[in-house]
Amino acid sequence: MKTTGTVTGIVSNLVIVEINGPVAQNEICYINLSGVNLMAEVIKVIGKLAYVQVFESTRGLKVGMPVEFQGHMLEVMLGPGLLSKNYDGLQHDLAKMKGIFLQRGDYTDALDYDSEWEFTPLVEAGAQVTAADWLGEVPENWVNHKIMVPFVMTDKYTIKSVASKGTYKITDTIAVLTNSKGEEFNVTMVQKWPVKKAITAYREKPRPFKIMETGVRVIDTLNPIAEGGTGFIPGPFGCGKTVLQHALAKQADADMIIMAACGERANEVVEIFAEFPYLEDPRTGRKLMERTTIICNTSNMPVAAREASVYTAMTIGEYYRSMGLKVLLLADSTSRWAQALREMSNRLEELPGPDAFPMDLSAIIANFYARAGFVYLNNGSTGSVTFIGTVSPAGGNLKEPVTESTKKAARCFYALSQQRADSKRYPAIDPMDSYSKYLEYPEIQEFLNKNISAEWHDQVMKTKNIIQRGKEASEQINILGDDGVPLEYHDRYWKSEILDFVVLQQDAFDKIDCNTPLKRQRYMLGKVMDICDTSFKFDSFEQCSTYYKRIINVLKQMNYSDFQSEEFNNYEKELNTILNERKA
Amino acid sequence: METKAFQRIYTQLTGITKATVTLKAQGIANEELALVHGRLAQVVKIIGDSVTLQIFSGTEGIPTNAEVIFYGEPPKLKVSDDLAGRFFDAYGNPLFGATEIEGDPREIGGPSVNPLRRKQPSELIATGIAGIDLNNTLVTGQKIPFFADPDQPYNQVMAMVALRAQADKIILGGMGLSNDDFLFFKNVFENAGALDRIVCFVNTTEQPPVERLLVPDMALTAAEYFATTKNEKVLVLLTDMTLYADALSIVSNRMDQIPSKDSMPGSLYSDLAKIYEKAVQLPDGGSITIIAVTTLSGGDITHAIPDNTGYITEGQLFLRTDSDTGKVIVDPFRSLSRLKQQVIGKKTREDHPQVMNAAVRLYADAANAKTKLENGFDLTEYDERALKFAHDYSEKLLAIDVNIDTNVMLDTAWELFAKYFSKTEVAIKNELVQKYWPN
């Protein structure tokens, strides 16, 4: 029998329910508001009173209205048909909702019960299986979607029968399993999983040892992110966080992209809706939308569902990882998620931590980031969830609780700088403040040197050094004046400016410059570093700046040209002529 | 709203604070309206049979035996074409002794648009101001505030933008507007012969601050009527959102909520987003564009109000007085229109993006030169040229009194480039330079 209750108090979206039976923390319930069901989650219980956060507006709710508890936590449906879908934070399909405005209680199915899938078995009767083992596969867009033993079935099972090759609906039984006691279980193509629990049905989670190519030079070259790694992008508003995230979504070398629009602008999501069905994935030639799932809880959608949305996204990511895919999960912005936690903590009248955030904020964030990772599956194949979150620090101040907690949890830090954004040096990732801990991993260093070039890691370190020295020189020039420093300072400063303009800066709106493959990055970095290693002769600092501006201009034109095209080669010849003018 | 026969009347208050009253009542719905001692109030909290109401006009003089009548419904606005050309107070009652309008009552602060049903904003709004059209192009369906210090002429600029924007309807939501500014808007709209396109909801400084909380929702409900039912292009002006946020903090304070940054309620982001996200481009051609004003204190954008606003809106426009030319300009460094990428170089001339960036970069060089000058260093010849360029750029393009077409702005920029710089210094894609560099 389900536990039921009645509403006894309402404070915004926190509702107090008097209950007549057992309830669990985080259990889902529905409040019946004159025929409309409002979904809610238990967040505190005191005696006979359950405090629930409602995922909808509570306008019109009255004391005495009936509540029905569901006996499970917030779950998502996992099965073929998730790709290319646009969900709200609770995995309701936005496309199936009626009308222009979102109506309360319009809870649509996450998957299509009528669609049919071409099933091919991958196991035979008699085989031994456990949670997450592959039973068969169906083609979903261009992915071979694996049908697995449900993650909750962690015992050992024997396959009694498996469906033959053919067309099935997602709720058809495709395998019958028996456990050691001889009990039988019917397995379909769809399973459910509570979003707040990590899916751990894999063999091993090693340290990441490969890098994930993103086509963004300042990331790939200077601070690469590992496949299965974690990173975060904090920055004040207007520094290009969103443009950068969209670039990653378009270009990253991943099999699947999940974008969690968490409490951000609706028009930004609309941009993805409008563009991704037409943009091509350069690697597969397929449309980007085919590899993308969007979880959308924009800032005007209910706050409590915002908190759920990042977990929904992560769970879907873990599901696809279990099929041996490379998943990239992007969440914009995790600060909005933290604010949702703060609003609830406030209504619960909990004692506040720093900046009125809940005390366990840091633990919650760390726990979430820990769900990303590179894994070896039960059958030895590999899969990964790479996670990049953005943080919107209040007032652009990085010493605030969400940024600090995230810094402890994430391995890559891409600091967007207001100063760089103001001078339109995009992407505004600060080359000195940012870091990638993966560069310190010996296994990553080995990977880079093997796959890019033998001296790559050393060259990257040297690049960083030149940028650092250029920055110091520029500070000296600003303090002492152009005439007050040796000419060599100007030379040093301008060499770092070449790196800035040609490697760090990248035009996200230019169709060629927006995406630089690693091979091209290696070539251009080599080119620039050769210039940095060359000594030139100058009589005055004015001569120096004019000369380097010419070099920068030609190199930029190279960036705008197709790699090694005639145009590109002509600019390169022009560059060589300029370089020969002043070689010492 | 009239008293209906079956409504229950309560006469025993159990608590009174500066902004709220509490009483015992049953069968009350969350967020429904009530009349307390003749003043409009809204239910904000129910615990058992104890109901807390927020009194919009304050609780001064309310006795414990005040009469409380519940309406049984949330705040509504009657919408019809009759709204056009009218002035209302924060409750939607007509001002200047005008008669009530007839129309279909709609709940204010209603649900949001399904993001999947939105269209991508792609229609340019021309204002003639180069600081906006050239550097920070506006698009229908966008939401963008002016960030300005109280001494800057933001209301004047906003009125100018509104009249030039060619919207089907202009809806003004005035919060804590001084009576003088209200009359200014009224006169400007009257003189422009635009009154039939205007709807105003106004809370002036003479009226209670908490009433302001209704103004944006009233204005946007009217906007939604014209945008969804009539497929019109609606421009909503909200001034001043800082005073709106202050009213939010007053209420949350009275309700004993723990304040977060700058004494603002922890829900400030969501509260502001609910308003700004009403900006939308609808599939059938209607749109709501929001231009707001957020006043700053001493230009501080790290304060919670401008900070949260910046994360919600699609850019911001900074006004600043340029000391070189003595003119008010739209600051090219700190201003931003996020949606400009949808139109520049697509709906405008192809060279627009690169010209815009190059001009701002050169203007930044001038700013560096200025710093050098202030620190007593010698200027290079390049610095001198950059400073001269900055002066002309500010006077001919950035100043808000400039009113020219976008193509003229681009031509002007090229002329300035050619006058002060070489082609390599400007560093624009070669094919564009060949086409547009003046000879």
Q: What length does chain B have?
A: 439
Q: Does B427 touch chain A (CB under 8 A)?
A: yes
Domain spanning B76-107+140-313, CATH architecture: 3-Layer(aba) Sandwich (3.40)
Cβ–Cβ under 8 Å, residues A378 and A202:
yes
ipTM: 0.85
**Token pair of A328 as six digits:** 């990239």
**Region for B231 from its dihedrals, namely left if φ exceeds 0, alpha if ψ lies in -120 to 50, beta otherwise:** left
Task: Nearest by CB to B302, from A16, A64, A397: name it.
Answer: A397
CA torsion sign for B254, B256, B262, B267 is negative
Q: Taking every pair of C-alpha atoms in chain B, what is the biggest distance, in angstroms? A: 84
Which of A270, A301, A483 is the closest to B112 by Cβ? Answer: A301
Phi-psi region of B216 (alpha: psi -120 to 50; beta: other; left: phi over 0): alpha
Q: Which phi and psi (to 5°) does residue A165 adopt?
A: -55, 135
Q: Where does CATH 3.40.50.12240 sit in chain B?
A: 76-107+140-313
Instruction: Please report the pLDDT score of residue B254 as a whole number.
Output: 80
The pLDDT assigned to B377 comes to 85
CATH architecture type of domain B9-70: Beta Barrel (2.40)
- How many CA atoms, within 13 angstroms, populate the side-chain half-sphere of residue B287? 22
Terminus-to-terminus CA distance in chain B, angstroms?
A: 70
DSSP reduced 3-state for B147:
strand
Beta bridge partners of A117: A168
Q: Using a CB-CB distance cutoff of 8 angstroms, which residues of chain B are in contact with residue A63?
A: 26-28, 46, 48-49
Residue B382 has what pLDDT? 92
User: How many Cα atoms occupy the beta-carbon half-sphere of B224 within 13 Å?
Assistant: 25
Q: Is the Cβ–Cβ distance between A354 and A402 less than 8 Å?
A: no
Instruction: Please identify which residue in the block is written with the tokens 């109401």.
Output: B53
- Which residues in chain B (25-64) have CB-CB distances under 8 A to chain A? 26-32, 44-49
Q: Which residues of chain B have pLDDT under 50?
A: 1-3, 5
CATH of region A456-582, choose from 3.40.640.10, 3.40.50.10170, 1.10.1140.10, 3.30.470.20: 1.10.1140.10
Which H or E run includes A76?
strand A75-78
Q: Classify residue B348 by its DSSP letter.
A: S
Q: Which uninterrupted H or E stretch holds A376? A: strand A373-376
Burial A211-221 (b: 16+ CB within 10 A, else e): bbbbbbbbbbb
Among the partner residues A265, A296, A478, nearest to B314 by beta-carbon distance: A265
CB B54 within 8 A of CB B251: yes
Q: Quote the CA–CA distance of A146 and A314 in Å, as a whole number.
A: 18
Q: Per the CB < 8 Å rule, is A298 touching B28?
A: no
What pLDDT sits at residue B427? Answer: 83
Compute and round to an integer the Cα radius of gyration of chain A.
27
Q: Is B334 on the interface with A (CB under 8 A)?
A: yes
CA distances from A213 to A198, A455, A527 (A): 26, 18, 20
Q: Comparing C-alpha atoms, which of B301, B329, B325 is closest to residue B132?
A: B329
Q: Do A4-73 and A112-194 share a fold?
A: no
A319 token code pair: 């599901």
Structure token pair of residue A76: 């998502």
Whether B30 sits inside 8 A of A355 (CB atoms) is no
Tens-digit pLDDT profile for residues B229-244: 999 999 999 999 999 9
Cβ-defined contact of A298 to B228 (cutoff 8 Å): no
Q: Do A395 and B74 touch (CB under 8 A)?
A: no
Q: Identify whether the C-beta of residue B409 lies closer than 8 Å to the C-beta of residue B397.
A: yes
Q: Which residues of chain A have pLDDT under 50?
A: none
Phi–psi pair at B128, nearest 5 degrees: 80, -15
Rounded to 5 degrees, φ, ψ at A125 are: -55, 140
Question: What is the side-by-side order of every strand in the sheet holding A143-148?
Answer: A143-148, A134-140, A116-121, A166-169
- Chain A: give the shortest CA distance to residue B171, in Å: 21
Q: How far is B187 from chain A (nearest CA, A)?
A: 35
Would you say the C-alpha torsion A51, A57, A59, A61 has a positive or negative sign?
negative
Q: What is the pLDDT of residue A565?
A: 95
Joined together, the tokens standing for residue A536 give: 């030139």
Query: Does B333 contact A265 at a Cβ distance shorter than 8 Å?
Result: no
Q: Residue A73's closest CA among A51, A45, A41, A50?
A: A41
- Chain B (190-229) residues lying within 8 Å, Cβ to Cβ, of chain A: 228
Please name the residue ranges forming H helices in B256-299: 268-276
Q: Which fold has domain A217-434?
A: Rossmann fold (3.40.50)
**DSSP code per residue over A512-532:** TTT---HHHHHHHHHHHHHHH
Rounded to the nearest angstrom, the minimum Cα separation between B321 and chain A is 18
pLDDT for residue B1: 46
Report CB contact under 8 Å: B314, A339. Answer: no
What gap in Å lies between CA A303 and CA A57, rounded to an integer? 9
Structural domain spans, chain A = 4-73, 112-194, 217-434, 456-582
Residues of B in contact with A236 (CB under 8 A): 310
Closest to B418 in 3D by CA, of B359, B349, B365: B359
Nearest by Cα to B141 from B287, B315, B293: B287
Fold designation for A112-194: OB fold (Dihydrolipoamide Acetyltransferase, E2P) (2.40.50)
H, E, C per residue of A239-304? CCHHHHHHHHHHHCCCCEEEEEEECCCHHHHHHHHHHCCCCECCCCCCEHHHHEEEEEECCCCCHH
Query: From B358, which residue of chain A is nearest by alpha-carbon distance?
Result: A424
| CB contact (8 A) between residue A102 and residue B112 | yes
Cross-chain residue pair A482–B378, CB shorter than 8 Å: yes
Check if the beta carbon of residue A331 is closer than 8 Å to that of residue A40: no
CA B359 distance to own-chain centroid: 28
CATH number of the domain at A4-73, please? Answer: 2.40.30.20
Which element (helix H / strand E) includes B104? Answer: strand B104-107
Q: Best interface-test mutation with A: which of B49, B117, B264 has the largest number of A CBs within 10 A?
A: B117
The Cα–Cα gap between A54 and A308 comes to 12
Antiparallel, parallel or unpaired: β A36-46 and A49-54: antiparallel
